[in-house]
Chains A and B, each alone.
Chain A
Amino acid sequence: MAKALLRGSLISLGLAGALLALAVQAAGNNFVVTGSQAANEKSCVEPTDFMRRNHMEVIKHQRDETVHGGIRSTKHSLAGCIACHGAKGPTGDLLPVNDERQFCGACHDFAAVRLNCFDCHATVPTEQKGAIQIGW
C-alpha cells in the first residue's frame, strides 16, 4: 500500500516535471518558430491557450466541413496552420512539416504524438494561382 502510494506520488512528481518543462519552453516563447509568419502575429486564430489544447478538435471539425460540405474559407485549416507556423529554409521556401526544425513535428515528438496527417496531406502547402489557398 505504502509502496503503491510512493510510486503514485513519484509518477505524479514526474508528470509535474514534464509539464513544468513544457511550461518553461512555452514561457521562452519557443512554441513558435522564429522567422515564421506566426512569430509576427499577436495571437493564433483562437487564443493560444485554447489552440494548445484543442487544435486537433478544431482541425477535425474543419476537415468534415470541408470534405462533406465544401466549406473551405474558414480560419481553421491544416494548410493554414502550416503556412503560418512553417519555418522557412535559407532559400525562403517553407520547409517540409516533418523537418525537425518545424513546429508540428518538434512539438509532437516532444509529446510523443504520432503525427500522420502528412502521410496523405502535402507536407508543405502548394501555392495555387499565385496565392496559398487556405482551407483545403
Chain B
Amino acid sequence: MNNSSEEIDQGRRGFLGAAAGVASMTLAPGVLLHTIASADPRSERVTDAVRYGMLIDTTRCAEGCTACVTACNQENGLDLQQMPASMDPEKWDRQEARWIRKIKLEDNLTGRVTNLPMMCQHCEHPPCVDVCPTGASFKRSDGIVLVDRHLCIGCRYCMMACPYKARSFIHAEVEEKLTLAPRGKGCVESCNLCVHRRDNGETSTACADACAAQGHHAIIFGDLKNPESTLSKALAAMPSRQIRENLALNTGVRYSGV
C-alpha cells in the first residue's frame, strides 16, 4: 500500500517537473498561449493572441461562381429569410441581408475584369464601431468585428460609416432562424468570420471551405498574427492590397490581383 502510493507520488513529481520544463521553454514566444487556447476553445475567453483575417486571390475567383455566397447563406441562415408578402421584389433585392457580395471590377482603360467576393473587412480601426452610439458594434479581441444585437437600436449609423457596404439591416420580422445565428427585425448584421466556428476551435470559414470544394481555393482564412499560418505565409509570398487602403483601416481581409 505504502509502496504504491510512493510510486504514484514519484510519478506525479516527475510529471510536474516535466510540465514545468515545457512551460519555461515555451513561455517566451507566446506559443504557450496558443496551446492553452486550443485546449477547450468553447470555455476560453477570446484573446488578442490571434487576429483572424483572410486573403482572397482574385485570380482564382471564377466568373459566375457563387459557391462562397451560397455557403455563407446556408451556414448563417440567410437563406431562411422570406420576402414579406406585400413587398416589391425589387425592393427586397436591395434590402435582403447579405454577408458576401460578388463584385465585378472593370478597368476602364484596359478592360480587364476582376471578380471578387466582398464582405466585412474586419477593420483594425473600424468606422462602424467609432460611430455606433450604443456600443453594439464592437471588435472582439481576436479582431472579429460584430454587432451585439442585444444592444443594437437599429439606427444604421454603422451602415453609413462602413466604406465597404458590408452591413445589412433586417427590416421585417424573421420567422425562421438558426440557433447559431439569431436574427431579428430592427438589428444590423454583417459577416462575422463564422464566429461560432472560431469559438468551437474550427479552423476555416464556410466560404473558404466552399471555394476550396469547387477547386478554386481563392479564399485563405487564418491567423494574421501567427507567422506559421497558411494565411501569413501566403501573404508573405504574394502581393496583396487592402481595398480602399487610403483609409488606413488596416483591414483583416486582403486581396491579391486587384
Contact = CB atoms under 8 A, between A and B. Distances in A.
Given A63-B150, A67-B146, A70-B198, A120 B182 contact: yes
Nearest to A63: B150
A26 B171 CA distance: 41
B70 to A, nearest CB: 18
A63 B195 CA distance: 14
B34 interface: no
B193 to A, nearest CB: 12
Contact of B180 (A67, A68, A69, A133): A133
B179 A71 contact: no
A128 B180 contact: yes
A25 interface: no
Interface in A115-136: 119-122, 125-126, 128, 133, 135-136
A122 B195 contact: no
A135 B200 CA distance: 11
A43 interface: no
Interface string A57-101: 000000110011111111000010000000000000000000000
B45 A71 contact: yes
B220 to A, nearest CB: 22
A85 to B, nearest CB: 15
B44 interface: yes
B163 interface: no
A120 B176 CA distance: 9
Given A68-B148, A122-B182, A136-B196, A74 B177 contact: no
A122 B42 contact: no
Given A71-B43, A72-B42, A79 B184 contact: no
B185 interface: yes
Size range of the chain A interface in the assembly: 20 to 34
Contact of B173 (A64, A119, A122, A135): A119
Given A68-B140, A70-B199, A120-B187, A126 B178 contact: yes
B60 interface: no
Interface in B150-180: 150, 173-174, 176-180
- B42, B43, B142: which has the most chain A beta carbons within 10 Å? B42
Nearest to A82: B179
B198 A73 contact: no
Contacts of A135: 42
B258 to A, nearest CB: 32
B185 A70 contact: no
A65 to B, nearest CB: 8
B144 to A, nearest CB: 9
A41 to B, nearest CB: 21
Interface of B: 40-46, 138, 140, 142, 146, 148-150, 173-174, 176-180, 182-185, 187, 195-196, 198-200
Given A72-B43, A119-B184, A128-B179, 12 more contacts: A67-B146, A68-B148, A70-B46, A72-B199, A74-B43, A119-B173, A120-B149, A121-B179, A122-B177, A122-B178, A128-B180, A133-B179
17 contacts: A63-B150, A68-B140, A70-B44, A70-B45, A70-B195, A70-B198, A71-B199, A73-B42, A79-B179, A119-B173, A120-B183, A120-B184, A120-B187, A122-B179, A126-B178, A133-B200, A136-B196
